[in-house]
C-alpha cells in the first residue's frame, strides 16, 4: 500500500516536472524577438500582413490561453511546422531523428553494462592488486575525460591514421550503416562504462565482506561459482539502478556525440534548431528529451521493488 | 565525479600538484593575453582591433594559414592565422570567469536554500527540498541547453544556465550538514542561551562546513568548466570570435583532415584543468574531514 503511494507520488512529481519543462519551453517563444508570424510572413512582408497572420494564428490572445493550447497540442504531438527548409511538421521531423538516438544509446548502454560489470567484478576479485589498480586508473580517465576530447582522439587514429572506420555519418554512405555507428557508440559508452565499473567494484567489495560469502567459502563452493552466483547476484542491484539512470543520461546526453559525428539524431537536431532559432523544433526536442528522461526514471523506480524485496518493504 | 585514492600521501601529492597547476593556469589566464599583445608587430596592430589580439606576427605571404609550432607563435596558428597560445589564454580566462561566477552564485543560492530547507517552517521546507531534489535529478547538460534555448547565446546566458544547474547539489549538501549539526550539543547550548536561528547558522554551523563546501565546490568547478566547454563546443555557449576551449576544439575538428595537431592543445588544457581540480578537491576534502584522513 505504501509502495503504491510512493509510486503515485513519483508519478505526480514526474508530471509536474514535465509541466515545468513545457512552461519553460513555451517561454522560449515568448522571450525571443519575433514570433511565428514574423518568420512565416518572410522578411519582406508588410506590418499589416504580419498582423493579419498573427490574427489567423491566434497569436494575439493572452499568453495563458496560448500556453494551455500549446500543452494540449503538445500532448497530441503537434508542435507546428519548422520555420526553415521545407517547413516540415515538427512531429514528423523529430520522430525521424529519434530512432538514431535510441539506437546509439541502446548499443552504448549494452556495451557499457557488459564491460563495466565484467571489469568491476575482476577488480573486486583482485582487490588492491595490480589488475584492480589498473582498472581503477583507466576508469578514472573514463569518468573525467570529456566526450569531445575522446572523440577526436579515436577519430584521429581509427579514421585518419588507420582508415578502418568512417570519420562521420554522411548521406552517401559506402559501408553498411552500423560501420558509421561504431565510433559514436564507443565514445558514448565510455563514461557509463567507467561509472558502472567503479560501482560494480564497490558493491562487490562490500558484498565479499559479508558473512554468507565466508560461509560459502567454508563449505567449499568453487571460486567461480562463489563470485558469480553468490556475490555478484547480491551485488548487482545498485548496478541495475545505475544502468537505468545511465541509460536516461545517454538518451538525453548524446548532443556532443551526435554533433561530432554528424549523426541525424535528437541531440544534433536540438542543437541545430537552437543555433538557427527554429523555436517549434527546439520546443519539441526539449519536451521529448525531458519526457524520455522522466519516464525512464519512473521505470527504474518501478522495477526496483520488483527486483529487491528489501526495497519493497522499506519503501516509505 | 570524484577520483578516489585511499593513500593519504598520494592525496597530498595530488593536492600540491593540482594546486600548482591551477596557480599557473590563473597566471596564464591573467597575463597570457597581455604578453601576446606586447609582442605584436606594428603591422598586426593596424589590423581590426577585434581580431588583432589573437593574430600572431606572421609571414603575410605564406599560403597556409597554419604556422608550425616554434616560430613567432609558440604553438603555431589556427585556420584564421590566430595565435594558439593567445587563444588558449583567452579561453582559460573564459573558463575561469564562467566557472568561478557560477560557483559563487551556486554557493550563495545553495547555502540559502540548504539552510532554509532544514530550519524554515514545514510548509516552506518541504516544497523547497522537493523542488531541489527534482532539479538535482535532472541531467545538468539537458537543463543547461533548455535554459540556453530560452535565454540566448553568449557568456551571460551560459553563466545563468550553469548556475541554475549547479545550486541543487550544494543545497542538498548544506541541508544534510545542517541537519546533523543543528542537534550537536554546542548548538543546542547556544540555542538554550537564547541565540537566534540566524546567529546559530552564521556563527556556529556555517563555519563548521566551509572546508567541506570549499572542497566540494572545487570538484563542482571541474564540472562547470566541462559544461561550459561542452556548450561552447556545441556552438551554443561562448560565441566566436571570443575564444573558448570548447570552441577551439570545435574549430580544430573541422580542420581535422588537414591539420589535426590543433586539437591537442585545447583538449590537453581542458583535461588537465579538470584533473587538477579533481585532485585539489579530493585533497581538500581529506584535509577538511578528519574521518576521511584516517580512513
B226 CB within 8 Å of a chain A CB:
yes
**Complete DSSP assignment for B141-188:** HHHHHHHHHHH-SSHHHHHHHHHHHHHHHHHHHHHHHHHHHTTSHHHH
ipTM, interface predicted TM-score of the complex: 0.80
What fold, for A96-315?
MetI-like fold (1.10.3720)
- For the residues B10-25, what does the mean pLDDT come to? 87
pLDDT of residue B20: 92
Q: What is the pTM of this model?
A: 0.83
CA B100/CA A205 separation, integer angstroms: 37
pLDDT digits (tens, 9 = 90+) for A122-173: 999 888 888 888 998 888 888 888 888 888 888 888 887 787 777 777 777 7
* A125 and A230 Cβ atoms separated by less than 8 Å: no
CA B259 vs CA A160, B251, B270: distances in Å: 11, 11, 20
Q: B 139-158 residues with CB below 8 A of A?
A: 139, 141-142, 145-153
Percentage of residues in chain A having pLDDT higher than 90: 14
Tell which wins on pLDDT, B3 or B262: B262
pLDDT at position B46 over 80: no
CA A199/CA A183 separation, integer angstroms: 25
Decide: helix, strand or coil at residue B26: helix
B112 CB within 8 Å of a chain A CB:
no
CA A132 vs CA A239, B6, B125: distances in Å: 18, 13, 44
The C-alpha cell of B43 is what?
603591422
* B55 and B41 Cβ atoms separated by less than 8 Å: no
Nearest to A24 among B146, B253, B257 (CB): B146
CA B226/CA B263 separation, integer angstroms: 16
Which residues of chain B have a CB within 8 Å of the CB of A32? Answer: 150, 152
CA nearest A133 in B: which residue? B5
Mutate: best of A127, A146, A245, A279, partner B, most B CBs <10 A: A146
Percentage of residues in chain B having pLDDT higher than 70: 79
Q: List phi, psi (to 5°) of B83.
A: -70, 125
CA B292 vs CA A209, B2, B5, B287, B288: distances in Å: 21, 14, 11, 8, 8
- State the helix-helix crossing angle for A147-154 and A177-208, rounded to 10 degrees: 130
pLDDT digits (tens, 9 = 90+) for A75-113: 777 777 777 776 778 888 888 888 889 999 999 999 999
Residue whose cell numbers read 558469480: A228
Domain locations in chain A as residue ranges:
96-315
Which residues of chain A have a CB within 8 Å of the CB of B230? Answer: 146-148, 255-256
pLDDT digits (tens, 9 = 90+) for A7-31: 788 888 888 888 888 888 887 777 6
Averaged pLDDT of chain A: 83
Amino acid at each position: 500500500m505504501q509502495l503504491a503511494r510512493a509510486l503515485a507520488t513519483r508519478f505526480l512529481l514526474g508530471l509536474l516536472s514535465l509541466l515545468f519543462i513545457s512552461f519553460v519551453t513555451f517561454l522560449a517563444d515568448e522571450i525571443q524577438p519575433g514570433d511565428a508570424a514574423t518568420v512565416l510572413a518572410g522578411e519582406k512582408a508588410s506590418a499589416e500582413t504580419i498582423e493579419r497572420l498573427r490574427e489567423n494564428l491566434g497569436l494575439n490572445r493572452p499568453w495563458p490561453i496560448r500556453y494551455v493550447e500549446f500543452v494540449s497540442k503538445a500532448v497530441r504531438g503537434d508542435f507546428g511546422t519548422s520555420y526553415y527548409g521545407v517547413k516540415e511538421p515538427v512531429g514528423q521531423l523529430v520522430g525521424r531523428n529519434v530512432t538514431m538516438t535510441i539506437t546509439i544509446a541502446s548499443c552504448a548502454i549494452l556495451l557499457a553494462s557488459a564491460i563495466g560489470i565484467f571489469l568491476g567484478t575482476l577488480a573486486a576479485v583482485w582487490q588492491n592488486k595490480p589488475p584492480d589498480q589498473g582498472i581503477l586508473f583507466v576508469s578514472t580517465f573514463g569518468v573525467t575525460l570529456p566526450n569531445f576530447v575522446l572523440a577526436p582522439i579515436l577519430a584521429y587514429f581509427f579514421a585518419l591514421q588507420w582508415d578502418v572506420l568512417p570519420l562521420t555519418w554522411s548521406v552517401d554512405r559506402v559501408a553498411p550503416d552500423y560501420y558509421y555507428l561504431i565510433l559514436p557508440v564507443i565514445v558514448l559508452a565510455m563514461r557509463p562504462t567507467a561509472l558502472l565499473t567503479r560501482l560494480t567494484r564497490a558493491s562487490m567489495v562490500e558484498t565479499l565482506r559479508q558473512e554468507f560469502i565466508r560461509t560459502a567459502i567454508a563449505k567449499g563452493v568453487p571460486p567461480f561459482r562463489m563470485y558469480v552466483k553468490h556475490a555478484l547476484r547480491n551485488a548487482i542491484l545498485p548496478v541495475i539502478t545505475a544502468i537505468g539512470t545511465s541509460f536516461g543520461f545517454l538518451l538525453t546526453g548524446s548532443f556532443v556525440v551526435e554533433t561530432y559525428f554528424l549523426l541525424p539524431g535528437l541531440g544534433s537536431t536540438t542543437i541545430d534548431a537552437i543555433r538557427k532559432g527554429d523555436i517549434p523544433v527546439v520546443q519539441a526536442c526539449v519536451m521529448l528529451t525531458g519526457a524520455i528522461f522522466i519516464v525512464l526514471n519512473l521505470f527504474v523506480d518501478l522495477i526496483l521493488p520488483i527486483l529487491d524485496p528489501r526495497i519493497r518493504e522499506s519503501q516509505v | 565525479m570524484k577520483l578516489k585514492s585511499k593513500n593519504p600521501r598520494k592525496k597530498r601529492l595530488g593536492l600540491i600538484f593540482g594546486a600548482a597547476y591551477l596557480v599557473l593556469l590563473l597566471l596564464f589566464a591573467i597575463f597570457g593575453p597581455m604578453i601576446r599583445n606586447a609582442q605584436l608587430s606594428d603591422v598586426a596592430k593596424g589590423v581590426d582591433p577585434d581580431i588583432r589580439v589573437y593574430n600572431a606576427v606572421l609571414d603575410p605571404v605564406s599560403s597556409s594559414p597554419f604556422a608550425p609550432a616554434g616560430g613567432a607563435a609558440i604553438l603555431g596558428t589556427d585556420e584564421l592565422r590566430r595565435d594558439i597560445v593567445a587563444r588558449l589564454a583567452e579561453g582559460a580566462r573564459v573558463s575561469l570567469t564562467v566557472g568561478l561566477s557560477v560557483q559563487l552564485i551556486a554557493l550563495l543560492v545553495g547555502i540559502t536554500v540548504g539552510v532554509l530547507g532544514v530550519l524554515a517552517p514545514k510548509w516552506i521546507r518541504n516544497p523547497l527540498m522537493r523542488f531541489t531534489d527534482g532539479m538535482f535529478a535532472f541531467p545538468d547538460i539537458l537543463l543547461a541547453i533548455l535554459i540556453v534555448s530560452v535565454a540566448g547565446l553568449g557568456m551571460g546566458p551560459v553563466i545563468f544556465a550553469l548556475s541554475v544547474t549547479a545550486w541543487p547539489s550544494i543545497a542538498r549538501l548544506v541541508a544534510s550538514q545542517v541537519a546533523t549539526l543543528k542537534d550537536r550539543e554546542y548548538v543546542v547550548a547556544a540555542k538554550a542561551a537564547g541565540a537566534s536561528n540566524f546567529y546559530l547558522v552564521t556563527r556556529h554551523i556555517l563555519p563548521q562546513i566551509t572546508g567541506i563546501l570549499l572542497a566540494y565546490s572545487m570538484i563542482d568547478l571541474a564540472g562547470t568548466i566541462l559544461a561550459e566547454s561542452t556548450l561552447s563546443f556545441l556552438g551554443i555557449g561562448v560565441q566566436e570570435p571570443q575564444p573558448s576551449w570548447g570552441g577551439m576544439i570545435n574549430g580544430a575538428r573541422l580542420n581535422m583532415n588537414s591539420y589535426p595537431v590543433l586539437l591537442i592543445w585545447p583538449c590537453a588544457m581542458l583535461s588537465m584543468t579538470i584533473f587538477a581540480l579533481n585532485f585539489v578537491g579530493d585533497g581538500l576534502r581529506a584535509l577538511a574531514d578528519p574521518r576521511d584522513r584516517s580512513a
